[in-house]
A and B are shown apart, each in its own frame.
Chain A
Amino acid sequence: MPENVTIALAGNPNAGKTSIFNGLTGGRQHVGNWPGVTVEKKEGEYEYRGARVRVVDLPGTYTLGAYSLDEVIARDFILSNEAEVIVNVVDASNLGRNLYLTTQLLEMGANVVVALNMFDVAEKMFDLESGVLSRLLGVPVIATVGTTARGIDELKAAVNAAAAERPADWPIRINYGHELEPHIEKLTSRLSNLDGLPPSLERRWLALKLLEGDERVTALVRGIAGGEAVADDAARAASHLQNVIGDDAVVAVADYRYGFIAGLLRDAVRPRAPSPLRVTVSDRIDKIVTSRRLGLPIFLVTAYAAFELTFKLAAPVVAGLEWSLGRLGANVAAWTASASPLLTSFVVDGVLGGVGSVLVFLPNIFLLFLVIAVLEDSGYMARVAFVMDEFMHKLNLHGRSFIPLILGFGCNVPAIMATRTLETRRERMITIMVIPLMSCSARLPIYVLFAGAFFAGRRGLVVWSLYLLGIVLAVIAAKLFGKILFPGESAHFVMELPPYRAPTLRGALLHAWERSREFVKRAGGIIFAASILIWGLANLPPGVAYASRDSILGTAGAAFAPVLHPAGFGEWEPAVALAAGVVAKEAVVSTLGVLYGAGEEGLTAVLRTTFTPLSAYAFMVMSLTYIPCVATIAVIRRETGSWRWTLFAAGYTIILGWLTATLIYQGGRLIGLG
C-alpha cells in the first residue's frame, strides 16, 4: 500500500461534503486558495493503517461542465490525477440527481469511492442496498452519516484499498443509443490514434465532450497534431445530431445518463412505503419564510437578531480585551519607562495601539462567522438569497450578494470574506468593491462624537442619515461598476433550496474558529506592519513629540490639508486624524484627542471652535466614505488576489468621500447653512 495518498472529495452542494471532510480529518484543516483564482481550497490530513492521507475538498458542484469557476476547478483537479482516489459524497436521500455527477466522474476515468451520505435519512424513505449499488456502479459504495461519523472507518478502509489497487478501466459504460454511439465510438478510436494527448485522459470521455461542444476539450484537441480534423468532424457530427434529435447533444447525453441512473435505482432501491407525494416540514416552513408578504420582514428580523447577537454578546469580551490591553500598556509603560520613552511609545502606541485595536474585533468576527455558519448550515441562507434576488437584480447583482453587504455594517473584513459564497467573479468583485461603503461599527464612535457636539437634539437622525448615505452610495456604485467595470449580465439565478436541517454546533464552531484564526494570522501581518509605519512617521524626525505638527505625519497632514479645504476642514489636525483612521477608523477620534491635546470631554469644546455644524457633517461623511481601513484593504488584496483592484477600492473611495463631503459643504454654504 502506498504510504502517501492524496484523495479529493467531490459532490453536490448540500450533500454533506463538509461533514465527511470533518469526519475524516477530525476538522483539522488548512485553508488556501486554488492557484490563480480566489476560490477557497480546503485541505486536511489523516492517518489510517499506515497510510498518510491528504484530503482535498473540491468545490461542491452538480456537474463537471464549465458553467462556473467551481466546476472548472473541480474538473481540472480531477483530470490532473493529483488525487489517487476521488471520494464522491452523494446524498443518499436524493440519488436521482446526485448520481448524475457520479456518472461523469466514472466516465472521466476517476478512481471513485462513493460515500452514500445521509444514509439515516434515506433509510427511513426506502430500502437501499449499498452492496447492490456498488455492484451496479462497479465501484465501492460505503453508507455514511457525516454528522455522526457513522461509516467513516469503513470509508477510510475503502480509500486505502482503492489507492492500493485501481479497478479495471470503465467500471460502467453508459450506452448512449443508436444515434450517438456510432459517433462516440468513431471519435474515440480516432482520438486514440492521436499522439500528444495526455495518456490519463479517457478517450471516450473526450469524444463525448467533443460532441457536446465543450470549449476546453475542443481547444485541447485542436491544439495537437491532427486534432483539428478530429474536432472538425466532431462539430459536423454534433450539428448532424442536432438535426436528427432536434436538440443539442448535451441534452441527449443527459437523457441517457438519467435513464441509466433510473435503471440502476430500480434495482438498488425499494420504497419503504408508497408515499411519493408529500408536503415536508421544509415546504411548510418555506411557505411562510419565502412568501411575498412575510419573506422580507422575517429576513430583516433575522438579520437584526444576528447582528445584535454578534455585537451584544461580544461586547463584554471586547471590553475585557480592551481593558487587558490597556493594563498591558500601562504595565509595559511602567517597565520600560526607565529604559527609553521611545521604546514605551513603540510598544504602547505602535504595537498595542495598532494591532491591539484590531485584535479586539476578534470576538465579533468569531461570533459573526458562527452565526453565518448556523444560518448557512440550516439552509436559511439559500432562502435569503431567494427573497432578496428581486431587489438585487435591479442592481444587476445576484440575491446572494446581499448577505455580505449586510454583514458590512458589523465589520467590513468578515463581510468581504463572506463573498466567497458568490458564484461568479463578476458578482464577487462588484460586491467586494462596494462593501467599504457599508458603515461598519468602528465608524460609529466618530459619528457619536461629532453628532453629540453639533447636533445634540437630532443625534439619532444624523447618525441614521450617514448609514443611509452609505447604502445609497453603495447602490449607485454597484450599478455603475456593473455597467462600466464588469459589464455583463448578472449570473443566472439557479439555486437549490435544500431541506432545512439542524446545524451541528461542532461544525459551526469549527467554521468560526477557522475563520478567526485566518483573520489573526494573515490580516495581522499587514496590520502590524502598517501600525509600525504610522507610528514611525509620527515619531520622525527624531526628537519630535509623538504625532505633533513637526513629525513627518504632521507635516504630511499640513501638506495635505489644503486639499481638504473645499470640504470644510482644511486644518492639519483633521488631515492627520483621517490618516490615522486608515489603521482603524475609531483611531480618528483618539487621534483628534491627542492632536488637540484634550480628553474626550474637552474635545467637544475644542471641536466647536474649529468646526461648524456643516463642516462637522462633511467630516463625518468623509470618515464614512474615504479609504477602507488597513484590515479591510488587506482582506480586499487577499480576496481579489490583485493589487490593482485593491488600489482601485482605496482610490475610488477617497475620491468619492472627498467629492461627497465637498458637495455637501459647498452646497450647504450656497443655501446659507455654513
Chain B
Amino acid sequence: MGNLKSLLEFEIGATVRVAKINAGLGLKQRLLALGLVPGADIHVVENRYGPVRLCFNNSRIAVGRGVAAKILAAEAPEDVCGECPAEETCPDR
C-alpha cells in the first residue's frame, strides 16, 4: 500500500482505497455504516470546495472537509478502476 493521504489531498477523479478512519467512535460507526470501511474502494468526485463528494457502493455521499481530513486512503491498485470512463462515475462493487 502506498503513502496514506487524507481524502482532501487526492486529485478529483481518483479512485482510492480507504485505509484508516481517525475519528471518534460515533462518527466512525456512521461512516462504517455508509460503507466507508478500510479496504473499500471509493471514488473522489469533488474535493476542491465545500463538502467532499464521494461515490462508492452505488451511493453518493458528501462529507464535510473536517470529516474528509480524518479519512486516510491510498491510491487504489490500477486494476480496480482500469475502465473508469469519466470523473463522475461511480465504482459499483
Q: Which A residues have a C-beta under 8 Å from some C-beta of B?
A: 62-63, 65-68, 93-94, 96-97, 100-101, 212-215, 247-248, 250-251, 254-255, 258, 262, 276-279, 282-283, 286-287, 290, 292, 295, 386-387, 389-390, 393, 399, 489, 492-499
Contact = CB atoms under 8 A, between A and B. Distances in A.
B57 interface: yes
B5 interface: no
Contacts of B61: 494-497
A97 B90 contact: no
10 contacts: A63-B33, A68-B30, A94-B57, A96-B35, A97-B34, A213-B25, A250-B29, A277-B84, A287-B88, A495-B62
Contact of A497 (B62, B67, B93): B62
A389 B64 CA distance: 8
A277 B37 contact: no
A277 B91 contact: yes
Nearest to A287: B88
Nearest to A125: B58
A65 B26 contact: yes
A63 B30 contact: yes
Interface residues of B, number: 42
A254 B32 contact: yes
B38 interface: yes
B58 to A, nearest CB: 5
Closest 9 pairs between A and B when the two form their complex, measured CB to CB: A493-B64, A63-B33, A62-B33, A65-B29, A67-B26, A254-B32, A497-B60, A276-B92, A67-B30
Contacts of A389: 50-51, 64
A337 B39 CA distance: 82
Contact of B89 (A254, A262, A277): A277
B85 interface: yes
A229 B33 CA distance: 30
Given A62-B34, A97-B57, 15 more contacts: A62-B33, A65-B25, A94-B59, A97-B59, A254-B29, A254-B32, A277-B89, A390-B50, A489-B66, A492-B67, A493-B66, A494-B34, A495-B61, A497-B62, A498-B60
B69 to A, nearest CB: 11
A494 B27 contact: yes
B50 A248 contact: no
Contacts of A262: 93
A466 B32 CA distance: 46
Given A101-B33, A247-B20, A258-B37, A282 B26 contact: no
Interface string B41-66: 00000101111010001111111101
Contacts of B92: 276-277
Contact of B28 (A250, A279, A393): A250
A492 to B, nearest CB: 5
A250 B37 contact: no
A262 to B, nearest CB: 8
Nearest to B23: A492
